[in-house]
Structure 1
Amino acid sequence: MTSPATAFASADYGRVIAPDAVRIERLLPGPIERVWSYLTEENKRRLWMASGTIGSSEGAAVEHVFRHSGLTTEDDRPPKK
């Protein structure tokens, strides 16, 4: 049985939709072109989340490499909205 806290945390961060898939939805500030570039371009995505590859077709493999010690400094942050 899932505790109320665990159920809330799961719903807050994402939803398992299949044994090998998680759906995460967020409302992000800024124009769609800028948001999309920070999601799909590895050199930008690694500045705020993780490096790695994202396949270009539906169902393609995704690999995120998290190296928190190598995250950007104050000077490297994306521009404010």
Structure 2
Amino acid sequence: MTDTRHTDQATPATLRFERLLDAPVDRVWQFLVDPELRARWFMAGPTDARVGGCIGLTMDHDRLSDREVPTPEPYRPYIGHSWSERITRCEPPNVLAFTWENGDAGEVTFELTDAGNDRTRLVLTHTGLRGPGDALNFGGGWHSHLAVLERRIRGEGVEDFWALHAQAEARIAEMLQRS
């Protein structure tokens, strides 16, 4: 059976994730721009939602699981790390794009379209990656964060973010081997 709710593509230069979410576009948009909602699936931080504005990001992934789960050693140094990225496109409630590592690691674009029946098709594209290492790192991250977003939108819990992350990295590694 084909999973029509998820479509993933990964190459060393570009990642593309498509999700069918159980909420209207305006609700999903709020999960992108509202710092408190964004903190529940990705990273918190202030949002100046306009071209040239900034989106703040604070890595607090311990907050993504509903129970206490230890952060894997490689990610511990990043807990609490905050920075901001420049917004390059902002077309509420359909498009939000911003740089990553000030553009050194590309650009992330979220596109939201009405899929009918109070559902939204979300397409996340991360372009300008610097090779397989970036694709694996960012791919595992985006895949797991989108899994959390899906659950949060449905009002479901997230038992263990880091288990989702490990599964996502394995999936992206497999995809990259085929690309």
TM over 0.5: yes
**Cα shift readout 1:11-50 (whole Å, capped 9, x = no counterpart):** 115xxxxxxxxxxx75452310110111111111100000
Unaligned 5+ residue runs, structure 2? 1-9, 68-150, 156-179
Question: Which residue number corresponds to residue 78 of structure 1?
Answer: 152
**2 CA distance for matches of 1:73 and 1:59?**
35
Q: Does residue 1:11 correspond to 2:14, yes or no? A: yes
Partner SS, residue 63 of structure 1: strand
Aligned AA for 2:32? L
- Of Structure 1 and Structure 2, the greater strand share is in 2
**1 CA distance for matches of 2:153 and 2:54?**
29
The two structures have a TM-score, normalised by structure 2, of: 0.29
Offset of 1:65 from its aligned partner?
Answer: 0.6
Is residue 30–residue 37 contact of structure 2 (8 Å, CA) maintained in 1? Answer: yes
Structure with the greater relative contact order (CA < 8 A, sep ≥ 6): 1 or 2?
2
Given the alignment, which residue of 46, 57, 62 partners 1:64? 57
Q: Does residue 1:42 correspond to 2:116, yes or no? A: no
How many residues end up aligned between the 2 structures?
Answer: 62
Identity, in percent, stands at 23
Once superposed, what is the RMSD of the aligned Cα atoms?
A: 2.7
Alignment of 1:21-36 (within 5 A): 26-29=18-21, 30-36=23-29
Offset of 1:72 from its aligned partner?
Answer: 4.1
Report the CA distance shift for 1:62/1:12 in structure 2 as closer, same or farther (over 3 A).
Answer: same
Is residue 54–residue 62 contact of structure 1 (8 Å, CA) maintained in 2? Answer: yes
**Cα shift readout 1:58-81 (whole Å, capped 9, x = no counterpart):** 11122211111122417xx62428
